[in-house]
A and B are shown apart, each in its own frame.
Chain A
């Protein structure tokens, strides 16, 4: 059970920063709150009493998104369901609808934010690999005297380990920015213990841009989560594929590589097996999404024998 002495709902960023700076030790900043409520239960944190909870979902500056100069700026209050339903976001972030559809369920996605998912820094966070693949950056605001100062960090510098980020005391995430990937095909792969509502064991994302004929890869972005302390961008595989002619052989060959990266302490063998198929599936699904599916090789059953 979660209880607190104060529940604040600031309306402006300034107000939120002042509250957050003055909040007693042990207070929590919340957005969707979809993680903190299940966390404060038996078997996890148990009953938790917090001095203050500062809820940023009514902070006007954190709402909405903007597309400009080849980048998309997602306010920290953007929720996962928007990636499924907003046409502009679907166009510019083509892997995000797939990521979102695998994230929790339609109801939790109405509340859960991408920024909140990243700041929790779970090794298997669904939202982080796509942001990583899209050269994502995290925008952080803090008070400097009377004014609001902002700094920006690449997502790989922001997420430092399980539950660890570069967030400093008094700082609030205001936005996540990424490349606009309009024209790319996107995909997201995930395995967990059931279809809805689970955190990933392993997840992967791909974004591909082909030439008009769909013969050649102009650009590719790949990232993977759940295989070590932090999600990884697969830059060397991207290099091996960029500007290459698309073939199943090539994709299969490069997909042999990621299992070696698996550093998780649990279920390592399982993750290795999954990862190989995943990278391949992510690339193939992204090609299909781009409108250039590669022909299936062998019937599935035969592959399993």
Chain B
């Protein structure tokens, strides 16, 4: 490997080291200097978690070979302020609650610092533009932009430093701006996520993944990989000592593929080696023979008789079917003046938390197998792992590291088992950090759904019956599918009081990437269908969309179709708030003239364009690109 002599100044201190010249500046900062406030969210220049200053210019350190930074002055998040002190930008982030999971925050603070150094008087629009290379998945950006504007005004002396001080909480935390306790560690980059942690004598894990959607594993030959210098162990399903299988409801997923693979990206074997490069090279030395099997990618087809069976225990490929019946839909449809039937479809969605999956496992002095990871469900994982590795529960420990965004996507125990097995086999700490690509290809997604919606209504808008049929792609393993189907069924008809309903939600196995938990847990898919359907019905009946909702809404004391009594229902207030703040132009959806009056008013956002910085400098206003 290329040997390169580096001399640089990092956060005011001289650094002189020999290293590989192709190493990314990011790797050098994190691995050689242990400055882990600089994160790797994507490794491809897309996310900005790796932003650092090189000779005063902010760059993405994942895109810079370290040799380029030779002789340069580097400033990382750790170098912005002295120990125990925060800069105005960092304090403003703390003040507004701009850090949630915090994974994007060091990069955001760096980008905000750069923007204000480049133009201390930048307008709000220009600040947004200058922060355009940094992604946050938690905050929706509002609090971040708010913070940067406060910092700008404090730095310029337009407002006093008291703007950075906490606001009094009064006698209630509710409705008051309360600062987060964990914000200082996030805005300063000091918080260590699992991928930032190291242990003495630690090994690095990489995972071999299936290129096939459905195949039988004929054989796995790991001997060549195992013989490589620097490789400490290779593990496969054969290394599982106990009862293999995990999942949130049904334990249908092995730690690594056992006998067959069921989706592209499924882990087959894992290597633990002295460094990541060696582990990656070892993956190419593992030889797997497959016999491809017919694969199925559409849940409707998967339910047809004769379709390839994905799990032996479920010959119909159904993970879970939740039926709910209330009243008499036949009667309800017979009473209707209008029956509207439509099909709605939602897609698979990736959580894209900024922190890719990562973890460290080790076996401690008392033989306790310990896994540190951003798991959203450590107690459940602990119980499952104990069975899988055949240990009593007191010999299994899970430590939850800070979660750099989860959104449901870190509820499944997809890699913690591999780490535990490798730590048990080598008696050394083992760390695995997913790449962004690996995270996208192999981890659970939001359930795609196809919903057939049939609704009967009276001419005055009153709903007489709903038939709701949802088929959802659960992918190759059960994960949270059962829970998602339950939630979708419970919330299927929205907050509306309907006498006659027939609901079926069906989660189905396919050879797609498994679907799992994701914000709203099935409600979003159902709501998309219900609310779209109501708009269509409003148009057919010549009713205002707000009106049709008011006619049917649940009120205080209503019973849901699963017989839950609702003490108070705030839907009316919500509708009124939405109507007022949007400046809604009353009427049926198709009753407007050529120009809508409720567009472009206060509180609505202009179409997106770039070039705010030119407007400031030239006074010219660029035409908006619609």
Chain A min CB distance to B534 (Å): 24
Known: A42-B437, A101-B613, A104-B45. A111 touches B59 (CB 8 A): yes
Which chain A residues (19-67) contact chain B, with CB distance < 8 Å?
30, 32-34, 37-38, 41-43, 47, 50, 53, 55, 57
Q: How far is the CB of A302 from chain B (nearest CB, A)?
A: 6
Within the complex, which residue of A33, A84, A97, A304 is in contact with B65, where a contact is CB–CB below 8 Å? A33
**Alpha-carbon separation in the docked complex, A106 to B596 (Å):** 37
Cα distance, A197 to B65, chains bound together (Å) = 20
Given contacts A33-B63, A197-B46, whether A281 and B623 have CB atoms under 8 Å apart is: yes
Which of A4, A34, A37 makes the CB contact (< 8 A) with B2?
A4
Chain B: interface size category: 35 or more
Interface membership of B121, Cβ < 8 A:
no
A289 contacts partner chain B, Cβ-Cβ < 8 Å: yes
Number of A-B contacts (CB under 8 A): 142
Residues of A within 8 A of B63 (CB): 32-34, 37-38, 108, 111
Closest Cβ of chain A to B61, distance in Å, is: 9
Q: Which residue of A lies closest to B42 (CB)?
A: A38
| Known A-B contacts A38-B45, A41-B43, A41-B437; A4 and B623 likewise in contact (beta carbons under 8 Å) | no
| B610 and chain A: residue at smallest CB distance | A101
B16-24, B181-189, B370-378, B487-495: which lies at the interface? B16-24
Is B174 engaged at the interface, CB distance under 8 Å to the other chain?
Answer: no
A285 touching B622 by the CB < 8 A rule?
A: yes
Q: Is the pair A288, B64 in contact by a Cβ cutoff of 8 Å?
A: no
Task: Determine whether A150 belongs to the interface, using a CB cutoff of 8 Å to chain B.
Answer: no
B65: which A residues are within 8 A, CB to CB? 7, 30, 33, 37, 53, 55
- Which residues of chain B have C-beta atoms less than 8 A from A189's C-beta? 625
Residue in A43, A53, A104, A284 whose beta carbon sits within 8 Å of that of B22 in the complex: A53
User: How far is B615's CA from A285's CA once the two chains are assembled, in angstroms?
Assistant: 13
Q: Return the contact of B620 from the options A106, A196, A291 (Cβ within 8 A).
A: A291
How many A residues, CB 8 Å from partner?
A: 52
Interface check B574, CB cutoff 8 A = no
**Given contacts A42-B435, A102-B610, A107 and B60 within 8 Å (CB-CB):** yes
The reply to whether B595 and A98 contact each other, CB–CB distance below 8 Å, is no
Question: Whole-angstrom distance between the alpha carbons of A42 and B614 in the complex?
Answer: 38
A106 to B113, CA, bound (A): 13
Say if the beta carbon of A3 comes within 8 Å of chain B: yes
Interfacial chain B residues near A42, Cβ < 8 Å: 435, 437-438, 441
CB distance from B254 to the nearest CB of A (A): 23
CB-based contact B599/A301 at 8 Å: yes
Chain B residues with Cβ under 8 A from A108's Cβ?
A: 45, 59-60, 63, 133
Contacts of A261 in B (CB 8 A): none
A-facing mask of B598-626, CB < 8 A → 1, else 0?
Answer: 01000000001011011000001111011
A1–B280 touching, CB < 8 Å: yes
Given contacts A42-B435, A110-B57, contact A7 B22 (CB under 8 A): yes
Q: Is the CB of A107 within 8 A of B2?
A: no
Answer yes or no: B472 CB below 8 A from chain A CBs. Answer: no
Chain A residues with CB below 8 A from B70, complex form? 9
Interface centre among B43, B611, B620 (most CB of A within 10 A): B611
Q: A33-B63, A108-B133, A197-B46 are in contact. Are A302 and B22 (CB under 8 A)?
A: no
Q: How close is B574's CB to chain A, nearest CB, in angstroms?
A: 28
The 0/1 profile, CB within 8 Å of B marked 1, for residues 283-295 of chain A is: 0110011010100
Tell me whether A101 and B611 are in contact in the complex, defined as CB-CB below 8 angstroms, given that A6-B2, A33-B64, A110-B59 are known contacts: yes
Are the CB atoms of A110 and B21 closer together than 8 Å? no
- In the complex the two chains form, is B133's CB within 8 Å of A197's CB? yes
Query: DSSP majority for the A interface?
Result: mixed
Contact check: which of B45, B67, B438, B620 meets A197 at CB < 8 Å? B45
B1 to chain A, nearest CB (A): 6
Q: Given A37-B62, A301-B599, does the pair A2, B610 have CB atoms closer than 8 Å?
A: no
B565 within 8 A of A: no
CB distance from A95 to the nearest CB of B (A): 12
Q: Judge whether B68 is part of the interface by a CB distance below 8 angstroms.
A: yes
Q: Give every chain A residue within 8 A of B435 (Cβ-Cβ).
A: 41-42
Across-interface contacts of A105 in B (CB, < 8 A): 48, 132-133
A37 touching B45, Cβ below 8 Å: yes
Instruction: Indicate if the CB atoms of B595 and A3 lie closer than 8 Å.
Output: no
Contact of A305 with B by CB under 8 A: yes
> B51 at the A/B interface (Cβ < 8 Å)?
yes
* Contact partners of A6 in chain B: CB under 8 A: 2, 21
Closest to A39 in B: B44
**B595 and A302 contacting across the interface, CB-CB below 8 Å:** yes
* Chain B contacts to A: CB under 8 angstroms: 1-2, 4, 20-22, 24, 43-46, 48, 51, 57-60, 62-65, 67-68, 70, 111, 114-115, 118, 129-130, 132-133, 276-277, 280, 435, 437-438, 441, 594-596, 599, 608, 610-611, 613-614, 620-623, 625-626
- A selection of 14 A-B contacts at a CB cut-off of 8 Å is A7-B4, A34-B45, A34-B63, A42-B441, A53-B2, A81-B57, A107-B114, A110-B58, A111-B63, A281-B625, A288-B623, A289-B622, A301-B596, A302-B594
Known A4-B2, A37-B63; 11 more pairs at CB < 8 Å: A2-B22, A9-B21, A30-B65, A42-B435, A53-B2, A98-B614, A106-B115, A110-B57, A197-B132, A285-B622, A304-B626
